[in-house]
Structure 1
Amino acid sequence: MVDFFHEFLKKPIMKRIIKRINLVLFSVLILWSCTEKNLDPTSPSLGKPGVITDVSVEATPGGAIVTYRIPNSEDILGVKAVYTISNGSKREVSSSFYDNKIAIVGFDDMLEHTADIYVFNRALELSDPVKVTFTPLESPLSKVRKSMNIVNDFGGAQFQWSNELKAPVVFEFLAADSTGQMVTSRIASSEAETMMQSIRGFAPEPRKFAVILSDQFGNYTDTIATTVVPLFEEEIPKTGMSIMKLGNDASFTNWEGMDNFLIDDDRDNFGHSANSSIPAPFTIDLGVNAKLSRIVMFQRFFSSDYYNWGNPKEFEVYVSETKPSQNGDWSGWTKIMDCEIVKPSGLPIGTSNDEDLALAQEGHEFAFPLDLPPARYIRINILSTWGGTTFTHPAEVDVFGEVQ
């Protein structure tokens, strides 16, 4: 019986089972060991650490940089600052013993503040505090708030701002409903140096629009509001539109694609260029002169996703008021903007979340400058695709504005 049991344990399947059990037990021991280690000081105490010396303080936007010399002791692990920011939140920031400075951030005022600077050692003991005093420079949030401008736009309002420090800022855009109650229309975040955002869908009658800004430290601005009259906007009728075939335009009649599918109001079909056709320009005759407000680009739904294969990613937009040369000479066109379709989640190709899918279904909007003269012809030049392909297959293009 004993010999049978020993022989049974030698069988390959039992060897694999025992190996897996040992691996699990080993992993549990490692995790337990790491957890226990993180709870304890990294070394025995060598005594309470000394304080920082040679301290200097430089004010920065929304905070200060404290420069210092750390004590000459082998068990010093780092330095930390403890302070309370403008909104009453207590914060701690740390710096390694390899550095000789620490950045204090998060303030949204230009009042005098203090911070306590501690040295801590490998036994997690703190030195006595060294108190520093500073007056922050104007915060990034305050700078963006001061630059905010709200003007009327097609079908709504346009919010314009600058963010010279490229700080992360969250924007809550609001509009008055039929009762005058302010309702959140959109929430967005941006670190761009210059930016604009429009909210639309309103009749050309006086309406209050507003925005509230916040930063990553929990600071909020007061509501910035104004009343504007939205400009009239309509979707340019596609019944009068046509795809022009200029001499250097790409053909979108490949792999079940058709040129006219780009403007047929059917997002389930598509235009498809040939291989090795990137850049891939195509030209739309609106059939009317129009004060243009925006275009909306729709991707093809392919392989259960949007941001993949030959879907457009980067493209240019040109306009012309007069009939262009049949040879496609670019000198007769005015370039208006560079566009990039952005995937909100930033997830890799083949993986999209609900926000990604909702935006693609709604279409990717690109606004024309408000001072753009009326035009009749639009030329879109697709420069790159999500899959890095040498062909492209946009599903649809909508054009908005006011027919003249």
Structure 2
Amino acid sequence: MYTKHKKYLLVCITAVLIFTIYSCQKSASSNEPVSTDQTKPDPITNIRVENFNGGANIIYTLPNSSNLLYVLGEYNIADSKPRQTKASYYTDTLKVDGFAESKEYEVTLYTVSRAEVKSDPIKVKVNPLTPKFQLVNSLLELNPDFGGINVSGTNTYKAPLSMHVVFFNTTTNKYEETDPVNVSTQNISFSVRGFEATSTEFGIYTTDQFGNKSDTVFKTLTPLFETMLDKSKFYEYKLPSDAPVYFDWYVRNLYDGKTTEPGWHTNVDVTTPIQATWGLGVSARLSRFRLYSRLSAGFGYQNPKVFTIWGSDKTNPENISLPNAAVFGEVHGDWTSMGTFTYPNPPSGLPPNQANSQDLQFMADGVDFNVPIDAISTRFIRLVVNQTWGGVRYTNIMEMSLYGSPE
């Protein structure tokens, strides 16, 4: 019995060794070159060029070779700034892009075999049209905004671009730069704040993903005066359709200067709109507001995700049943929509239910929302929560700070 068992064990060990050796040989073979054929491939033929903004498509006929792997283009997109682009043998077009100017550039083309053998070079001239980053920057508009300037324009191509605002600092006597703003949408509109209401020279330039930089467009502007509105003047203006509150989570907690619990909290599963109303004690033009959500709820449960801010400059605005959401400028009774806003997703990129400490710190710092510069002056605020992160019929907010210019 012992001998028989020993023989069986020896057979198993031998089988494992054979399998291991075979696996190692197979693994080693995967590192061998795709081909050992060192024959130089023929170059491409019948070349034509289609130029576009910042680049060109080079169209050609491939050589008749089963050993061909790809077509390689080598060129400079700016002075001494090399770039390579490849196109597989499945296509007859090579895209070259990232050029800094609208002028003639030379592209060197090769066919490359599976053994990484290059063909003789073919030189081609391309004449890209004006690059997108230059076109977009030349059409940007700079206008005064509360505490700074607003930058607006159109990115027809939806190109990924970075906008850089510079300003002349009279204290240091030199130009300084704010944090860049990344855009990739068709409509561009953002504000840069933190400036006094004094005449300042501002500038804007744009860079693309290839490191190209446009000229800087300058304009002297005077930012509009901005301050945080005095919360000591705020008061609750309860209207019949406002949501009942949960225990001592009163509306006045929205502007008590504390970002900790308790804040404003509606009753659970309210049948009325999820809303609250309060007076500012002054008439003011709003520039933005900062919202502090409940940290214990994270990006979930009853924290607001989509909400509308309504304003009224009447001395005693009347109650009316407002819609759950409204576009900017929409009017219902004494109330005008100052915008419908969406709380951003976790900045970490994680799903809302997996928010990490970085995301919670983002919430704790408060999130700013810009009010359109042509919004009405208002004496009253009506906040309507349209959607919560958890889809529940109640909500809470710890604090709201309003910024603008009292009149």
Distance 1:155 1:123, change over 3 A: same
Distance 1:121 1:312, change over 3 A: farther
Distance 1:272 1:54, change over 3 A: farther
Q: CA deviation at 1:357?
A: 5.0
- For the residues of structure 1 that align with 2:302 and 2:146, how far apart are their CA atoms? 31
Match of 2:12 in 1: none
Counterpart pick for 2:90 among 98, 104, 118:
98
> Match of 1:302, SS?
helix
Counterparts in 2 of 1:266-285, with a 5 A limit? 266-269=258-261, 270-276=263-269, 280-285=274-279
1:393 aligns with 2:386: no
Distance 1:241 1:67, change over 3 A: same
> Match of 2:309, SS?
strand
Counterparts in 2 of 1:375-390, with a 5 A limit? 375-390=378-393
Q: CA deviation at 1:152?
A: 1.6
Counterpart pick for 1:351 among 355, 360, 368:
355
- For the residues of structure 2 that align with 1:262 and 1:329, how far apart are their CA atoms? 21
Q: CA deviation at 1:136?
A: 0.9
In structure 2, give the amino acid aligned to 1:190: V
Distance 1:133 1:386, change over 3 A: farther
Q: TM-score when scaled to structure 1? A: 0.82
1:300 aligns with 2:316: no
Match of 1:226 in 2: 219
Match of 2:338 in 1: 336
Match of 2:70 in 1: 78
1:369 aligns with 2:377: no
Q: Deviations over 1:328-387 (max 9, x none)?
A: 345223223232222433233333464x45543332222222233312223333233344
- For the residues of structure 1 that align with 2:226 and 2:182, how far apart are their CA atoms? 26
Q: Is the 8 A contact 2:45 2:62 kept in 1?
A: yes
In structure 1, give the amino acid aligned to 2:55: G
- For the residues of structure 1 that align with 2:287 and 2:74, how far apart are their CA atoms? 50
Q: Is the 8 A contact 2:71 2:110 kept in 1?
A: yes
- For the residues of structure 1 that align with 2:366 and 2:67, how far apart are their CA atoms? 58
Q: CA deviation at 1:97?
A: 2.0
Distance 1:195 1:391, change over 3 A: farther
Sequence identity percentage: 30
- For the residues of structure 2 that align with 1:74 and 1:379, how far apart are their CA atoms? 71
1:167 aligns with 2:170: no
Match of 2:281 in 1: 287
Distance 1:339 1:92, change over 3 A: same
Q: CA deviation at 1:276?
A: 4.6
1:128 aligns with 2:120: yes
Q: Is the 8 A contact 1:46 1:75 kept in 2?
A: no
In structure 2, give the amino acid aligned to 1:293: S
- For the residues of structure 1 that align with 2:365 and 2:153, how far apart are their CA atoms? 25
Match of 1:16 in 2: none
Q: Deviations over 1:39-86 (max 9, x none)?
A: x53122162222223322111111011222322322222222111102
Q: Deviations over 1:125-180 (max 9, x none)?
A: 22223322221112111122112222221122222232111111122333344333
Distance 1:70 1:381, change over 3 A: farther
Distance 1:291 1:87, change over 3 A: farther
Counterpart pick for 2:192 among 190, 195, 199:
199
Distance 1:82 1:383, change over 3 A: farther
Structure 1: stretches of 5+ with no match in the other structure: 10-21
Q: TM-score when scaled to structure 2? A: 0.81
Q: CA deviation at 1:116?
A: 1.8
In structure 2, give the amino acid aligned to 1:128: D
- For the residues of structure 2 that align with 1:318 and 1:87, how far apart are their CA atoms? 54
110-119 vs 326-335, which moves further: 326-335
1:146 aligns with 2:138: yes
- For the residues of structure 2 that align with 1:101 and 1:255, how far apart are their CA atoms? 68
1:181 aligns with 2:185: no
Structure 2: stretches of 5+ with no match in the other structure: 10-15, 324-331
Q: Deviations over 1:171-217 (max 9, x none)?
A: 23333443333333322211122222222233222223333321110
> Match of 1:318, SS?
strand
Q: CA deviation at 1:266?
A: 0.9
Aligned-residue Cα RMSD (Å) equals 3.1
Match of 1:240 in 2: 233
1:403 aligns with 2:406: yes
132-141 vs 390-399, which moves further: 390-399
